[in-house]
Structure 1
Amino acid sequence: MTRSLIIAAKCIAFTCLLLAVVGVSLWSASRRVPKFYEHALTQQLPADELAEAADQLEQEVLDLQSEIQSQETWEVIFTSEQINAWLAADLEQKFPQLLPTGVSEPRVAIEDGLAKVACRYTSPKFSTVFSLELDSFLTETTNEFAIRIAKARAGALPVPLKRFFDQITARAEEANLSVLWTQQEDSPVALVKLPTNLDDVRSDVVIEVIEIEEGQIRIAGRVVPGVELQSMPQQPRFADASQPR
């Protein structure tokens, strides 16, 4: 009887030790910070250069609006430096309600053909850095582009994304964007449909290029009459536009 109790006690002690080791490992993994995010924070521009780079991004947007109104073709390039400067200098100041509760310091890196996005998340229970690795491409449907989520992490731990699909879709609908979910190579893909008709533009705006290059994102297209737009493909590229299983 005593021997059995000793064996049982040892088993319980071993199990507790195992749980403790796993718990510490998971906690440590959840606290890990992606290198690109750490670099984006530590290599941040001085305040005056930060404001200048943020202004450059806003000027690119204004120039794009003017280009779309006055020319048949258009192009815009956003660099990771401009995006991060705007996120650091202007996002919370100009759009304080945009970030969800607990989310702060979003940053991006554009490298290896991927857009990498990360932010810090803090709650009463834990703190971590969420990160995503994304690539994007146009589908065969006019003004529809796909965003493939290659990786999603909390620290170094994988994050199941399916539970967030409805929230993402609802947020997109609030912004007048249509989003469907599908799957490619075991990765979730969001199919985002952009409107062709924009305010103050008489013709329709069509996106023809989305390129994720080293350190920058390039988007280009043209302005077409409504009659020409009607002849363009409107069928989705992916047969299955349902949520990934």
Structure 2
Amino acid sequence: MARKKTFLVVFVVAAVLIAAVAGSVYNATQHVPDFYTEALYVEPTTAHETGEVLEEQVFAFSNQVKKPRTWSLRLTDRQINSWLAADLKEKFPELLPEHIEDPRIAVKGKTLLVGCKYNGQSLNSILAVSLDCFLVEGEPNVVGVQLHNVTAGALPIPIGQLLSEIDTYANKAEIPIRWQQRDGDPVALITIPSTGKEIEGEIRIDALEFKDGEILLSGETIKTKEELKEKVVEGANQDAPEPSPLLEPPSES
């Protein structure tokens, strides 16, 4: 009898502990990061207009980089969030997986924070990740994206599955990614193409900066060596004197 009572007590205690742990885990997954709460709200009356301004900036920028010149682009997280809220679903309805909703970003200091709602079969939570983005020294036009602090609510989650999904979507979009480690975190190395059909030269990224609320990108499109050689040859041909007409010998009388 005493053994049965002991067993029942142990069973009840274990059940209570499991319930408490499950409740704590669930509560942790329902936590909403402060940055996401702030970024989620977008003024409905101005969201579409702000998103259009962003599209105009990006369109003008895409034209700038096609010609040999210096160029720069400045975007704010407010502009990006307005576009995500007002235009993403309408213009790119199949871009996001069906279990992902309301992506938002925030730039805090030099760190990029990304969050979204995740509605899965076994988990409904706010997924968030903090990123450090930088130009890789010694590798032209290579951007490094360091991932750390991946969470579901307030609960840290394994990063392996996230990396697998990133690879899957990168392959679909034909974006080549290499992976390295930095300070124990995975780093995605993404090469930005330097040439293209409509680009009159080579793109060279000089700076990528993140500071409170802003993303800054600058660089230059320069003539290729082949184009410079062609220009020199064309100039030389234009400067060369025309040959003198041949004199006809005097006719004999």
Instruction: Give the TM-score taking structure 1 as reference length.
Output: 0.87
Q: Structure 1 residue 126 and structure 2 residue 123: aligned? A: yes
Shift of 1:124: 3.8
CA–CA distance in structure 1, aligned partners of residues 205 and 67 of structure 2 = 16
Distance 1:125 1:166, change over 3 A: closer
Q: Structure 1 residue 217 and structure 2 residue 212: aligned? A: no
Q: Helix, strand or coil for the counterpart of 1:119?
A: strand
Letter in 1 for 2:165: Q
Shift of 1:182: 1.4
Q: Helix, strand or coil for the counterpart of 1:69?
A: coil
1:193-212 pair list within 5 angstroms: 193-212=191-210
Gaps of 5+ in 2: 227-253
The residue that corresponds to 2:17 in the other structure is 18
CA–CA distance in structure 2, aligned partners of residues 193 and 226 of structure 1 = 19
Q: Helix, strand or coil for the counterpart of 2:95?
A: coil
Q: Structure 1 residue 79 and structure 2 residue 65: aligned? A: no
Q: Helix, strand or coil for the counterpart of 1:201?
A: coil
Q: Structure 1 residue 176 and structure 2 residue 174: aligned? A: yes
Shift of 1:165: 2.2
CA–CA distance in structure 1, aligned partners of residues 87 and 107 of structure 2 = 20
The residue that corresponds to 1:27 in the other structure is 26
Could you tell which deviates more after superposition, 3-12 or 83-92?
3-12
Could you tell which deviates more after superposition, 116-125 or 96-105?
116-125
CA–CA distance in structure 1, aligned partners of residues 59 and 40 of structure 2 = 27
The residue that corresponds to 2:165 in the other structure is 167
| Identical residues among aligned pairs (%) | 30
CA–CA distance in structure 2, aligned partners of residues 120 and 209 of structure 1 = 32
Letter in 2 for 1:68: V
Could you tell which deviates more after superposition, 2-11 or 101-110?
2-11
Over residues 152-183 of structure 1, what are the superposed CA-to-partner deviations in whole Å (9 max), with x where a residue is unaligned?
Answer: 11111112111232331232233232111111
Q: Rg bigger for which structure? A: 2
Gaps of 5+ in 1: 229-245
Q: Structure 1 residue 107 and structure 2 residue 104: aligned? A: yes
Could you tell which deviates more after superposition, 95-104 or 167-176?
167-176
The residue that corresponds to 1:240 in the other structure is none
| Conserved 8 A contact 1:209-1:220 | yes
Shift of 1:71: 4.3
Distance 1:92 1:108, change over 3 A: same
Over residues 180-216 of structure 1, what are the superposed CA-to-partner deviations in whole Å (9 max), with x where a residue is unaligned?
Answer: 1111112111111121113411211111111011101
The residue that corresponds to 2:56 in the other structure is 59
Number of aligned residues = 225
Q: Helix, strand or coil for the counterpart of 2:112?
A: strand
